Structures are given as structure tokens and as C-alpha cells.
Structure 1
Amino acid sequence: MVRVMVVDDHPIWREGVARDLEERGVEVVATAPDGAAAVRIARAVRPDVVLMDLQLPELSGAEATAQVREALPDTQVLVLSASAEQGDVLGAVRAGATGYLTKSAAMEELVDAIGRTAEGQAVFSPGLAGLVLGEYRRRETEAPDEPQLTPRETEVLRLVAKGLTARAIAARLTLSHRTVENHVQNSLRKLQLTNRVELTRYAIERGLDVDE
């Protein structure tokens, strides 16, 4: 039996999916309401598959995915999101997600995808697999452009390199915590990095941790 953790910030959706999975023979070992809790709980229960939403408080689904995969290489992550946007799909894959389903998927499709994900297979909603394959083929044949961060993204990146937390950055720049996390995720996607450690290394290598 596949051991699954369900991560979603909407309680009714989270508990409903967990219940439906258990009724179909999937063992739900834990649930989590946000990205930070997902990482912490996953380390404790070590599920076979983490069913991960992307739009999460505290820590985004993409960043939580990266941290789970780094801490638990044998745990697979299957994203279940309302978004089918190219940036979200590719960002999740770069973070280490094995597959990506939209929330319009039928429960039978989800159960099948969980089983295949547990075996290490890449599972995507119709249309998304071609999107991912097409993007990687494009990257192989085209010279990558120099990524362009916005002034605000660069400002946030500089503070990340200085070791400030997202909440500290939010307070300093008079932004919401969620806005700061969005800037971090946008920078990760543009720079094709997977987590804050790589982001900090990138900033330090370019001298962004030094006051202008």
C-alpha cells in the first residue's frame, strides 16, 4: 500500500481528498496545511508520495517540494494544483516534482497517478507532459538568455543573500510575507534554481550580498 501525505491549505479540500483516497485503499499517513508544515511532517512520517498543492502559506509548494526532495530522496512529490500555467508546471518540475495533475482530475485518475508516482514514473495531466517535454527540448537547442530580474526581485535577492528570513525582508521592505515569497519564487524560476541555498550562492557569486 502506498503511503501518502496530502498538503493543501484549504481544510475541506484537504480532508476530502484524504478521505476519498483512503476509501480507495490509499494509506494517508498525514496531512499538512502549509509548506513549512509539509516539510516538517514529511521528515517525520517519510511518506512514499507527497500530494502537494502549489499555492501555500508559509512556504510555497515549489519550495516545499525542493526541501522534501532534498531531505527525503526516496519520497516522490506529485503536484495537485488548480493551475495549469506553464511557469507553475515547469517550476514544480525543476523543484523536483515527479508529476503534475490539475485539480480537475477524476479521483480514479489521481489514485492511478499516485501509484505510478510511487514507482518513480512521471505523471502529468493531458497536455502538460508535452509542455514540459517541449520546454526541455527548446532549452537544449537554444542558447539561454541572461535572466532578467525586476528591481524588486533583485532587492529581495540581495536581502536573501544577507541571510534575512522572508518575514524580516517583508518588514524591511514594507511588503507582505506572501509577496516576498512570490518574488523569491519568481527569481528561482527565472534563474532555473531550486531552493534558497542555490539562490544565495548565486547572489553571493555576483556580489549582491555587498551593500552598494
Structure 2
Amino acid sequence: MKMKLMLVDDHPLFLEGLQYLLETYGIDVAGTAKNGREALAQARALKPDIILMDIKMPECSGIDALRLIKAEMSEIKIIMLTTSEEDEDLFDAVKYGASGYLLKNTNARELVGMLSDLEKGEVPLSPDLASRLLKEFKDNSSYEHASTASTSQDSKGRQLTQRQLEILEMVAKGITYREAADALGLTERTVKYHMGRIIELLHLENRAQVIAYAARMGIVEHK
């Protein structure tokens, strides 16, 4: 797997172990940093493709570093790799442009697989976290926001085919592309193609925004 990766964590032992693990899978670790401030400086110097970054760090947190790096180098994909399961951290990470959110109890094979998926345009986000995001977007979509957005968003939604609406609903529920493909009798590649078209037609950027759109428009109900 050819990608230029940077690691950010304030625990040296974890950092060294993660770097060794990734390199055994053939992933180039271009550099490391121990806090958000160092992460910004290293990102400027190394221009990595992907950054795996902790949230709870001294001096400058991972969320603050995420905001700074994305504002200056939006092309870098940043995944939060953390022990934090706090909703606030998850929602802030997505809001400020994180490409994924993984917990540190993820096993090595899953992590490497998710990094590979990220290169293909997928978002490393578990069904449980997708469900939390959906609830947050529904609970915080005010009537005023919905009414001002509904006309333009609804007109975009009408551009979707019935098949695309089915896929949109399934993805918004946290169902994986593979599971959606099996349920609909399609190939995984076809589902990914449809998701690309959905994101393009709705003028969205990623799967988290698709979840927000589906919640706001009432396409899927959170239980």
C-alpha cells in the first residue's frame, strides 16, 4: 500500500508501537509528532497524504490541530485515532473536516484495511458512530434551518433515482457498502458508484454530510 502517513500522539510507547506495526504492513510513516502544535509544523514540512491523530494532547489538542491543518492544507486527510468515545469529540471532529474517527481498540488488520478504504474514497466510521451522528444531526436541526434548507435540498433530492434513495437510506443507517450491495443484489463497486453520484448530485463532500442530509430531509428515522 503506497501512502505517506504521519502519526500524532503524546504517548511515545504507543507512537513507536503503531509506527512499527504500520511499517510491517508496508505503510510508509513519514514522520511523527507528540502534540497538535508539532503536528501542524510537521504537516507543513512533510505534506503527508494521511494523518492519524489523537485528540487528548497537551499544548494543542487534536481537534484544534485538525482545524488548523485543514484550514491551511485541506487536501490532507485526517483520521482521529483516540480512546475518546465522547459525542462532543466525535461531532467536533466531523464538523472540522476529519475524514474518519477510530477508537484505539481497533485491531491492526482493521486499521490497515480502513486506511486502504480511505484511499479509495471511503470514510472510516463505524455503524455505531454513524448512528450517533445521525441522532445528533436530527436533534440539532432546528425548524428554521430545515425550512431555509429544505427547498434547495429537496430539489436536489428529487434528482436521485429510486435506487440511489435506497442506497442513501441504508448508508445513513450505518450499513456498509458491502452489506448494502448484498441486500440490494448489487456489486460493492456499483454501490460505491451510486454513492459517488449521490454526493456529487447533492453537492456534498463525504459520508458524514450524507448522514446529515438524510436526517434533515427525513429520509431515515433514527431509532
Task: Provide closer, same or farther for how the CA distance between residues 25 and 91 of structure 1 changes in structure 2, counting only shifts above 3 A.
Answer: same
Which residue number in structure 2 is paired with residue 206 of structure 1? none
Higher mean Cα deviation, 6-15 or 123-132? 123-132
Q: How far has the Cα of 1:112 moved from its partner?
A: 1.4
Number of matched pairs: 144
Matches within 5 A, 1:35-46: 35-46=36-47
Q: Residues of 2 paired with 1:134 and 1:82: CA distance?
A: 21
Secondary structure at 2:123 match in 1: coil
Distance 1:123 1:52 in 2: 14
Q: Does 1:134 align with 2:135?
A: yes
Q: For CA contacts below 8 A with separation 6 or more, give which structure has more relative contact order.
A: 1
Q: RMSD of aligned C-alpha atoms?
A: 1.6
The aligned amino acid for 1:41 is: Q
1:16 maps to which residue? 17
Instruction: Tell me which amino acid in the other structure corresponds to 1:118.
Output: E
Q: Which residue is equivalent to 1:68?
A: 69
Tell me which residue corresponds to 2:150. Answer: none
Give TM-score scaled by structure 2 length. Answer: 0.61
Aligned residue identity for 2:5: V
Q: 2:142 and 2:51 mapped to 1: Cα distance?
A: 33
Task: Tell me the CA shift for residue 143 of structure 1.
Answer: 5.6
* SS of equivalent residue, structure 2 residue 140: helix
**Cα gap change, 1:106 to 1:126, in 2 (>3 Å):** farther
| 1:4 paired residue number | 5
CA distance change for structure 1 residues 97 and 12 in 2, over 3 Å: closer, same or farther?
A: same
Q: Which residue of 2 aligns with 1:49?
A: 50
* CA distance in 2 between partners of 1:92 and 1:6 (Å): 17
1:128-182 CA distance string (max 9 Å, x none):
11111221233335568xxxxxxxxxxxxxxxxxxxxxxxxxxxxxxxxxxxxxx
Give the equivalent residue in structure 2 for 1:191.
none
Structure 2 distance, partners of 1:118, 1:60, is 25
Amino acid at match of 2:126: S
Structure 2 letter corresponding to 1:55: K
- In structure 1, the gaps of 5 or more residues are 145-212
Residue 140 of structure 1 aligns to a residue whose secondary structure is coil
1:36–1:110 Cα change, 3 Å: same
TM-score normalised according to structure 1 size: 0.64
Unaligned runs of 5+ in 2: 146-223
Q: Distance in 1 between matches of 2:108 and 2:25?
A: 9
Structure 2 matches for 1:48-197, cutoff 5 A? Answer: 48-140=49-141, 142=143
Q: Secondary structure at the match of 1:92?
A: helix
User: In the aligned structure 1, how far is the partner of 2:55 from the partner of 2:83?
Assistant: 9
- Over the matched positions of the two proteins, sequence identity in percent amounts to 35
Letter matched to residue 14 of structure 2: W
Q: Which amino acid aligns with 2:102?
A: L
Q: Which amino acid letter does the alignment assign opposite residue 134 of structure 1?
A: K
